[in-house]
Amino acid sequence: MRNIIIKIAPYLVIGCLLFYIFKTKDKKEIVEVLRSDTLELVSIDTVYTDSVTEIIKVVKVVNPINQSLLESYKKALQDNDSLRQLELYKDAITERKYFKTYENDLQKISVQTNVVGTLKTQDIKYQFKEDNRVHYYVGGSLSNFKEPTVGINFGVLHKSRIYELGIDNKKVVTLGVKVKLR
């Protein structure tokens, strides 16, 4: 019975991993995105992450600022106030630059926007901060199927190195260091 389990175990583990990988690729999530501070529409169609695809539903929003400017211009036309019309026209064609920075523990995002009436250009820059947190891992291993060896490993990830300590059923202790190549 033990020999059958030892022969079948690797295939079951591989099958479970493949099922998990293909199951997570099929997940889709619909997200509505609307910037509440300016009531502008964020138009991103699809975002691809490691194994999850997010489809973002575009939401149409009427910008109340544009409506109030249009009403002001129509009122200036009705009043035959050419100075007010010229002032509104200059305001509409003036190029404006906006800078905004978003920051958290892992990244810093800087957004630069140029606007002339409507959006002219937008530049987004990402800076990833160095992750100084320590991550802990535990794992197992199975090797040499004629004389099976079962082991357990403990790992610590610090910056770009993984330090490992393990032991198996034959009382062999392993120490290791893994370095990120790229």
- Tell me what percent of the residues of the chain surpass a pLDDT of 90: 7
**CB neighbours (10 Å) of residue 48?**
8
**pTM summary value:** 0.37
The H-or-E segment that residue 20 falls in is helix 2-25
Q: Mark whether 124 and 171 lie in a shared domain.
A: no
Quote the DSSP letter at residue 170.
T
The two three-digit tokens of residue 142, written as one number: 């199975």
Q: What is the pLDDT of residues 36-74, one digit of tens each?
A: 444 454 455 555 555 555 555 555 656 666 677 778 888
Range of the domain at 159: 131-182
* Higher-pLDDT residue of 98, 22: 98
In a domain, 73, yes or no: no
Q: What is the pLDDT of residue 23?
A: 66
Q: What is the pLDDT of residues 148-181, one digit of tens each?
A: 888 899 999 887 788 999 998 888 898 999 888 7
Q: Mark whether 180 and 150 lie in a shared domain.
A: yes
Where are the alpha helices (H) located in 35-81, listed in sequence order? 64-78
In a domain, 116, yes or no: yes
Q: Mark whether 135 and 153 lie in a shared domain.
A: yes
**Total domains in the fold of the chain:** 2
Q: Mark whether 122 and 109 lie in a shared domain.
A: yes
